[in-house]
């Protein structure tokens, strides 16, 4: 069976998710505050078992295709719920991929229930797209644990989703100078650790994003996610899992925008008929629908390849994220243009999507970075 062909059960599940997003989750999302953590929404996602779908019973990441179906379906009807779920998964991804049994036992149950909030702390003021340029230092300090195996984290992380309100952070720090990506180590750092502070940033997107300051934050070997100097691999494996699903998020928004444009074009009187009768409008809708379907198929294929363990995951994930996020930007812009001024009113679906759709072309690797990854893989 082709990788992109969904089973009837999967299609039914997607329909159920869209209904859940509209009927149960959207009211909770609308009751939240812009830029603030919506813990009530997270608990609802946990109670519905949706966060738990991101992880297998042993605590490791589950199906990438399930993650894509979740994100696309929720994005269609409630982008805030989609983002809350995705950020929990991204924050807990390094824990699921590289955490110890005791770390997973301590945190994963609380995270999947929505009671504990996780965050992925990779980006820095001088290291966004170039993740190997991390400067947050992990300096050896034998007094941290009394056995000569501790470190103190010093530096800054920024553009961190769920910061500064998360309960636990997957933090990537430099343990070996001059080693590039080979000198980065991942740590699991609870938010109440001494020396860790943060502040929120006022951003376009409605979910919380902030800066974290590490002032000699103590960590030990018990806080390691994987091996010393092997943290960059943990970060990249996490991103390879989530990049196709960023494309799924974008595809869900694009489909919502297209459906709104189709409905509007069929009902809006214009020049003796409706907007849909104008070839300039109908051809835009046809082009947008084709691009969205192509992006969706590429996202599903990349997720299925991840689940199979294919060797070309980096290329497939980059292609899926690139095409889907760029397509979503075009789809939402087209829908706004077809609607006209009404779509620019605060509270309109397309006004909301117009603000939401811009960020995915930047986070988890900007479109330019995805093109570089694809080109590198072509010459590998």
Domains of the chain, by residue range, sit at 8-112, 118-229, 233-378
In this prediction, what percent of the chain has a pLDDT beyond 90? 82
8-112 and 118-229 share one fold: no
Which pLDDT belongs to residue 11?
93
Which pLDDT belongs to residue 4?
63
Has residue 2 got a pLDDT over 60?
A: no
Exposed e or buried b per residue across 347-362, where buried means at least 16 C-beta atoms within 10 angstroms of its C-beta: ebbbbbbbebbebbbe
Which pLDDT belongs to residue 345?
95
The top-level CATH class assigned to 8-112 is mainly alpha
CATH of 233-378, one of 3.20.20.70, 1.10.1240.10, 1.20.140.10, 1.20.1420.30: 1.20.140.10
Average pLDDT (142-162) is 89
Average pLDDT (343-347) is 93
* SS percent in the chain: helix, strand, coil, step 5: 55, 15, 30
- Average of per-residue pLDDT values in the chain: 93
Average pLDDT (353-358) is 94
Active-site choice (7, 356, 364, 368)? 364
The pTM of the full predicted model, rounded to 2 decimals, is 0.92
Which pLDDT belongs to residue 192?
97
The top-level CATH class assigned to 118-229 is mainly beta
Which pLDDT belongs to residue 86?
94
Instruction: Give dist(CA 365, CA 205) in Å, integer.
Output: 17
Say if CB 172 and CB 125 are below 8 A apart.
no
pLDDT digits (tens, 9 = 90+) for 83-135: 999 999 999 999 999 999 999 999 999 999 999 999 999 999 988 767 678 99
Is 364 annotated as catalytic?
yes
């Amino acid at each position: 069976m082709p990788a992109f062909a969904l089973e009837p059960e999967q299609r039914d599940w997607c329909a159920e998710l869209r209904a859940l997003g509209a009927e149960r989750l959207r009211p909770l999302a609308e009751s939240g505050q812009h830029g603030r953590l919506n813990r009530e929404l997270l608990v609802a996602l946990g109670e519905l078992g949706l966060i738990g779908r991101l992880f297998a019973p042993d605590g490791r990441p589950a199906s990438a295709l399930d993650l894509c179906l979740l994100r696309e379906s929720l994005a269609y009807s409630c982008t805030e719920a989609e983002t809350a779920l995705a950020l929990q998964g991204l924050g807990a991804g390094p824990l699921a991929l590289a955490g110890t049994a005791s770390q997973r036992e301590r945190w994963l149950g609380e995270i999947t229930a929505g009671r504990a909030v996780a965050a992925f702390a990779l980006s820095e003021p001088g290291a966004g797209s170039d993740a190997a340029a991390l400067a947050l230092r992990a300096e050896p300090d034998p007094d941290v644990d009394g056995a000569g195996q501790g470190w103190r984290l010093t530096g800054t992380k920024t553009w961190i989703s769920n910061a500064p309100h998360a309960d636990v952070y997957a933090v990537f720090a430099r343990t070996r100078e001059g080693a590039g990506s080979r000198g980065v180590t991942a740590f699991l750092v609870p938010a109440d650790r001494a020396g860790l502070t943060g502040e929120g940033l006022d951003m376009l997107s409605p979910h919380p994003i902030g800066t974290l300051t590490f002032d000699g934050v103590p960590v030990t070997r018990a806080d390691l996610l994987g091996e010393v100097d092997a943290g960059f691999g943990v970060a990249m494996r996490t991103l390879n899992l989530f990049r196709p699903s960023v494309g799924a998020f974008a595809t869900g928004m694009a489909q919502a925008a297209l459906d709104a444009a189709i409905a509007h074009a069929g009902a809006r009187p214009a020049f003796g008929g409706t907007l849909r009768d104008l070839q300039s409008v109908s051809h835009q809708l046809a082009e947008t629908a084709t691009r969205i379907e192509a992006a969706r198929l590429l996202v599903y294929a990349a997720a299925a390849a991840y689940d199979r363990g294919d060797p070309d995951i980096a290329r497939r994930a980059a292609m899926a994220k690139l095409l889907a996020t760029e397509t979503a930007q075009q789809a939402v812009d087209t829908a706004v243009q077809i609607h006209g001024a009404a779509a620019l009113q605060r509270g309109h679906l397309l006004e909301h999507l117009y603000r939401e759709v811009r960020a995915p072309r930047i986070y988890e690797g900007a479109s330019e970075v995805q093109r570089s990854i694809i080109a590198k893989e072509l010459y590998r």
